[in-house]
Amino acid sequence: MPANLTFDALKAAVAAGEIDTVAVCLVDMQGRLMGKRFVAQHFVDGAHDETHCCNYLLATDMEMYTVPGYKSTSWAAGYGDYVMKPDLSTLRRLPWAPGTAMVMCDVLDHHTHEPVPHAPRTILKRQVERARAMGYEPMMATELEFFLFDESFADLFDRGFPLPTPKARHNVDYSIWGTSADEPIMRDIRNKLWDAGIPIECSKGEADAGQEEVNAKYSDAMDTSDMHSIIKLGVKQIAQAHGASVTFMAKYDHRKAGSSSHIHQSLWKDGQPAFLDTADPHGMSDLMKHYMAGQLAHAEEITYFLAPFVNSYKRFVVGMFAPTKAVWSCDNRTAGFRVCGEGTKAVRVECRIGGADLNPYLACAALLAAGLDGIERKLALEPEMKGDMYGAEGVREIPKTLGAAAAALKGSAMLRAAFGDGVVEHYAHAAEWELHEQNRVVTDWERSRGFDRA
């Protein structure tokens, strides 16, 4: 799905005074958009070719702390520059930001102008190229869940992030009445994202008070990841404009449901879905079975890219619609991998493991790498699991902690072959730093539990 603004149209809009600002964005390790806002005339005069940024943007944690120990950059190396190379095919208007357009950038080495290997867009682009070399186009879609709150971001920050007040006061899953109080904001989100060239299909209430979901139409893997990142930006900025706030944390409160980002996947060949075989009992081609077998075989190794933070693992709770077992089943929401569209041309695999806090480029790249490995090795698909997977025993489990997922990542021969040793070490180091920070910090739970009872 193309963005909605060509470079020639941008130049005309700038000349007409309709656009005065261009946000030039790269994707950081956490999946956030970082960059600069240019005076639009300067962008069209020359900055559209390239600009620069500090290379620490791909070596910081969630709080933008300069994490020691990365091989790619450091204080000793002087924290030099990367090149931000605008991908002009991603130009679009941002209707929620007056007079503003935006563009996504690839990240290049300052000296060689080669793609930076551990940049999220680079990692996904190389797996897409791998699939295309095999004759396939990866098509994907992400579902994004989040919670919508009464308080503003600034208010919550200034008060030390107390538990916020959900817009809806009770479970509003699919409820038209229950989400009506949210509708002024959600209507704005749907329509302004649509006007930004993102084909939003719908929004709905989700499985807890104040929880919402927004879905965009499937597209190629890179466009889907770009849209995912822009949706998160738009949702936050639109909520902020309404004096409200949202969170994409995987689990903001242990008593509430978690927020997911399910990823739907299929491969197409010559413009046709390659996962369909009408002669198969489930309508699944051998290609689809090999692809799924690869994802199951490497499920533990790729979990870090689906659940990248300590908090991510708080979501995997029995009975709250987040999976705990990395198995497959047809139309079964208790399985980590769910076959949807069984027997139709829309047959696809939905990975239900990822939370709303994932980086879409890394998650899609890891899933694609595992699936392509299954195709290359013609792995046989294990039997379908049926029933309640929460109670299943003796089956493959999703890692229960970030530490377990990081160890599986670091030991993955498949990911090292697909991404490169340097990329795996880079993100394993990010996981180890997250664990270091968790172990260092005293939490409110520890204080309230032990203050006068220890």
- The model's pLDDT over 273-311, given as tens digits with 9 standing for 90+, comes to 999 999 999 999 999 999 999 999 999 999 999 999 999
Q: How far apart are CA 26 and CA 293, in angstroms?
A: 33
Total domains, the chain: 2
Asked if the structure places residue 2 within a domain, the reply is no
Asked if the structure places residue 124 within a domain, the reply is no
Residues 107 and 137 reside in one and the same domain: no
pLDDT at 412 exceeding the cut of 60: yes
Note the pLDDT tens digit of each residue in 10-19. 999 999 999 9
Q: What pLDDT does residue 392 have?
A: 86
Query: Tokens 């309640």 sit at which residue?
Result: 388
Chain mean pLDDT for the chain: 95
pLDDT at 415 exceeding the cut of 90: yes
Residue range(s) defining the domain that contains residue 297: 130-443
Lowest-confidence pick of 167-176, 195-204, 399-408: 167-176
Asked if the structure places residue 125 within a domain, the reply is no
C-alpha angle 154-227-306 in degrees, rounded to nearest 5: 80
Q: How far apart are CA 350 and CA 340, in angstroms?
A: 7
H-helix segments, 16-113: 40-42
Q: What pLDDT does residue 334 have?
A: 86
User: Which of the listed residues 64, 83, 116 is the one where a domain comes to its end?
Assistant: 116
Residues 173 and 53 reside in one and the same domain: no
- Tell me the one-letter amino acid at 23: A
- For the record, the structure tokens of 193 come out as 């994202």
User: Which of the listed residues 116, 149, 184 is the one where a domain comes to its end?
Assistant: 116
Asked if the structure places residue 422 within a domain, the reply is yes
Residues 64 and 168 reside in one and the same domain: no
Asked if the structure places residue 122 within a domain, the reply is no
User: Which of the listed residues 89, 116, 143 is the one where a domain comes to its end?
Assistant: 116
Residues 237 and 284 reside in one and the same domain: yes
Residues 324 and 348 reside in one and the same domain: yes
Asked if the structure places residue 331 within a domain, the reply is yes
Note the pLDDT tens digit of each residue in 246-267. 999 999 999 999 999 999 999 9
CA of residue 301 relative to chain centroid, distance: 17
H-helix segments, 298-348: 299-306
Residue 144 per-residue DSSP state? E
Q: How far apart are CA 210 and CA 228, in angstroms?
A: 20
Distances 367 to 114, 147, 253, 266, 410 between C-alpha atoms, Å: 25, 26, 28, 11, 16
* CATH number of the domain to which 410 belongs: 3.30.590.10
Cα atoms in the Cβ-side hemisphere of radius 13 Å centred on 363: 31
Candidates 109, 108, 91; CA nearest to 100 is: 91
Q: What pLDDT does residue 173 have?
A: 85
Asked if the structure places residue 449 within a domain, the reply is no
- For the record, the structure tokens of 142 come out as 């992400």
Residues 65 and 137 reside in one and the same domain: no
Angle at which helices 402-410 and 421-440 pack, to 10 degrees? Answer: 160
Candidates 319, 397, 353; CA nearest to 250 is: 353
Lowest-confidence pick of 171-180, 337-346, 369-378, 439-448: 171-180
Note the pLDDT tens digit of each residue in 229-247. 999 999 999 999 999 999 9
Residues 191 and 336 reside in one and the same domain: yes
Residues 303 and 415 reside in one and the same domain: yes
- Tell me the one-letter amino acid at 196: A
Residues 139 and 111 reside in one and the same domain: no
Note the pLDDT tens digit of each residue in 432-443. 999 999 999 999
Which strand (E) or helix (H) includes residue 87?
strand 81-93
Residues 37 and 100 reside in one and the same domain: yes
Cα-Cα-Cα-Cα dihedral of 314, 315, 319, 324, to 10°? -90
Confidence category of residue 168, pLDDT binned at 50, 70, 90:
confident
Asked if the structure places residue 448 within a domain, the reply is no
- Tell me the one-letter amino acid at 103: V
Candidates 229, 222, 176; CA nearest to 203 is: 176
pLDDT at 2 exceeding the cut of 70: no
- For the record, the structure tokens of 150 come out as 């009464």
Residues 218 and 107 reside in one and the same domain: no
| Residue 302: partners with Cβ closer than 8 Å, 6 or more residues away | 295, 366, 367, 369, 370, 409, 412, 415
Burial of 292-314, coded b for 16+ CB within 10 Å and e otherwise, reads: bbbbbbbbbbbbbbbbbbbbbbb
Determine phi and psi for 263, rounding to 5 degrees: -120, 115
Q: How far apart are CA 322 and CA 169, in angstroms?
A: 22
* CATH number of the domain to which 50 belongs: 3.10.20.70
Cβ-based burial of 117 (10 A; exposed 0-12, middle 13-18, buried ≥19): middle
pLDDT at 1 exceeding the cut of 60: no
Residues 197 and 326 reside in one and the same domain: yes
| Residue 359: partners with Cβ closer than 8 Å, 6 or more residues away | 27, 29, 30, 31, 120, 305, 308
Note the pLDDT tens digit of each residue in 41-73. 999 999 999 999 999 999 999 999 999 999 999
